[in-house]
Amino acid sequence: MKILLIHQYFLEKNDGGGSRFNEMAKAWAAQGHEVTVLAGMVHYATGKKEERYKGKFTYLDKQFYDKVDVIRCHVSESYNSSFLGRLWAYFSFVFGSIYAGLFKVKGKHDVILVTSPPLFVGITAYILSLFKRLPFVFEVRDLWPESAIDTGVLQNKLIIKFAYWFENLIYKKAKLVNVLTPAFRTKLIEKGVPENKVIFIPNAADFSLAEEVQKDFDAFAFKKSIGLEDNFVITYVGAHGVANHLIQLLDAAELLKDTNVIFQLVGSGMRKESLIEEKNKRGLKNIIFRDPVPKAEVFKYILASDMGASVLKKVDTFKTIYSNKTFDYMSCKKPTLLAIDGVSRELIEEADCGIYVEPENPMAIANGIKEILTNSQHLEEMGHNGYEHAIKNFDRTVLASRYLDHIKTVMK
């Protein structure tokens, strides 16, 4: 099978961010399939381009992985400058990816798979499906435009109206719509998407990478090397953006100054500098910011921690999502400090693999941590529980094969 994947935020090699489709593409290639990716040049967290992309409209990474080619398409670096800047970044990718799909993609493909957000990548999928006479599968990683509206990213009424109209059009034209959580499935059916069109392939855990990193890895020695051997370390891995609302961890840290708890935040994003300024302003010694690191290094930081943190802004839309960070913590046998209500909470409570604390409630976060500090045995049990639950329900290799089974049903 030859798959044309459209993913604006497809990661660079060894990037530490959410790598759902990097891993899916490798799994499909390992099964003998070929994947061509239309991706953006601007990193989703930093809003910056690598030097090799500057001055180019498209850039081909041939054999990015074995049997996986990546064509990077122009995206405006105005992404983090303002609302209009971000909107232009979305549409600049649409224009760039349509051009690349028509003139740079070589050979015939069997199916188009497009993953959102941003919702507007659906424009590329629809146009290419018409020109190439191919079916397309649309994936919903985050409910758009709801999440953009709830977080304040999308405010213009005309654009919101267009987004809802376009969302409805894409659901009609797609042969299948994949969702990442059961709550998404319910929402889409409520919106009028036929039940038999909605499939469910959730995020998954990277067991192979976690196991590879653990070979000959001394977690305590690593923890000691970064000067945290005497601390209870809670690590957050991911974007430092509006939706993540990491200020709540600084607020909790302020309430935990009399403990040995350290929050370690690994990653980047448009709010990182302001968070560092706030940390310095408050004189918080129990918050550490670290630059983004390759995925293998991310796992080292997780393995050398006591817990992993998954947090988001307190809005209703985020009650419908699974946090992909939680699956990384599960694969490393680390319990999760979860400040996200809804299906993410249901997941960790079903698996008994962490503790839920009310989002944006610093006192609740601090008290939840203090409670777990008194029960180290339960901490270890929760880490083991999460690993077993993820292996049973969220193994990436199994889910990648299941995804292909669904895709085959729409191929001509």
Provide the residue ranges of all domains of the chain, joining segments of one domain with +.
Answer: 2-204+395-408, 207-393
**What is the spatial distance between Cα 350 and Cα 156, in angstroms, rounded to a whole number?**
39
Which stretch, 155-169, 311-325, 360-374, has highest mean pLDDT? 360-374
Query: What confidence score (pLDDT) does residue 130 get?
Result: 97
Residue with tokens 């039940």: 195
The answer, yes or no, to whether residue 90 has pLDDT greater than 90, is no
pLDDT digits (tens, 9 = 90+) for 98-113: 999 999 999 999 999 9
pLDDT classification of 81: cutoffs 50, 70, 90: low
pTM beyond 0.95, yes or no: no
Query: What confidence score (pLDDT) does residue 94 get?
Result: 96
Domains 2-204+395-408 and 207-393 alike in fold: yes
Query: What confidence score (pLDDT) does residue 410 get?
Result: 93
Q: Which two tokens stand for residue 389?
A: 């639950």
**What is the spatial distance between Cα 91 and Cα 381, in angstroms, rounded to a whole number?**
47
Query: What confidence score (pLDDT) does residue 4 get?
Result: 98
- Mean pLDDT for all residues in the chain: 92
**What is the spatial distance between Cα 314 and Cα 322, in angstroms, rounded to a whole number?**
14
Higher pLDDT, 163 or 18: 163
Query: What confidence score (pLDDT) does residue 412 get?
Result: 63
Architecture of domain 2-204+395-408: 3-Layer(aba) Sandwich (3.40)
Q: At what angle do helices 207-214 and 324-331 cross, to 10 degrees?
A: 40
Spatial contact of 87 and 117, defined as CB atoms under 8 Å apart: no
The answer, yes or no, to whether residue 362 has pLDDT greater than 90, is yes
Show contacts of 392-396: CB within 8 Å, 24+ apart.
Answer: 394/202, 394/203, 394/204, 394/205, 394/327, 394/330, 395/204, 395/205, 395/207, 396/23, 396/24, 396/27, 396/204, 396/205, 396/206, 396/207, 396/208
Q: Which residues pair with 65 in a beta bridge?
A: 68
Peptide bond preceding 182 in cis form (omega within 30 of 0) = no
The fold of the 207-393 domain, in CATH, is Rossmann fold (3.40.50)
Query: What confidence score (pLDDT) does residue 275 get?
Result: 97
pLDDT classification of 16: cutoffs 50, 70, 90: low
**What is the spatial distance between Cα 111 and Cα 116, in angstroms, rounded to a whole number?**
17
pLDDT classification of 192: cutoffs 50, 70, 90: very high
Q: Would you tell me how many other CB atoms lie within 10 Å of the CB of residue 260?
A: 12
For residue 104, which of 145, 144, 150, 62 has the smallest C-alpha distance? 62
For residue 11, which of 25, 28, 1 has the smallest C-alpha distance? 25
Counting Cβ atoms within 10 Å, is residue 48 exposed (0-12), middle (13-18) or buried (19+)?
middle
Of the listed ranges 82-86, 144-148, 212-216, 324-328, the least confidently predicted one is 82-86
pLDDT classification of 79: cutoffs 50, 70, 90: low
Amino acid at 11: L
Amino acid at 378: H
Per-residue pLDDT averaged across 136-159, rounded? 83
The answer, yes or no, to whether residue 39 has pLDDT greater than 70, is yes
Query: What confidence score (pLDDT) does residue 382 get?
Result: 97
Query: What confidence score (pLDDT) does residue 332 get?
Result: 93
Per-residue pLDDT averaged across 113-125, rounded? 94
Q: Characterize the bridge pairing of strands 34-40 and 2-7.
A: parallel
Higher pLDDT, 23 or 115: 115
pLDDT classification of 203: cutoffs 50, 70, 90: confident
